[in-house]
Amino acid sequence: MLSLMANNAYNEKDEVKTVLIVLQQSRFKAADAHKIAEDHAGLPGMLRSIRMSGLAEFAEEVLADLRGRKDEKKPGVSAATASNVDG
């Protein structure tokens, strides 16, 4: 029974790590990335409370990355060019 519980905890840790990796590698619009970071701001604290401090540190890194994201400008389109386009 104890090994089953340990195995489940290990699987859950792997699942959380996988989700964090996907978030880190994804390309969201900046507003979406900021919203995800805001909605999950408590994740590192929760992970620490269940003694997963390494994963909590990784969550902090991912959330900081999401909070700091900016939308990428499309290559070849400058502000001057965009303002000259008739709409």
pLDDT in single tens digits along all 87 residues of the chain: 555 555 666 688 899 999 999 999 999 899 999 999 999 999 999 999 999 999 999 999 999 999 999 998 766 655 554 455 444
In-domain check, residue 27: yes
Encoded tokens for 23: 């978030």
- Which residues span the domain enclosing 31? 2-70
Tell me how far apart the alpha carbons of residues 60 and 17 are, in angstroms, rounded to a whole number.
Answer: 12
In-domain check, residue 10: yes
In-domain check, residue 25: yes
In-domain check, residue 78: no
The predicted model scores a pTM of 0.71
In-domain check, residue 83: no
In-domain check, residue 77: no
Please enumerate in sequence order all residues whose Cβ is within 8 A of that of 56, keeping only pairs 6 or more positions apart, or say none: 43, 44, 45, 47, 48
Encoded tokens for 77: 């389109």
How many domains does the structure of the chain reveal?
1
In-domain check, residue 64: yes
Tell me how far apart the alpha carbons of residues 73 and 57 are, in angstroms, rounded to a whole number.
Answer: 30
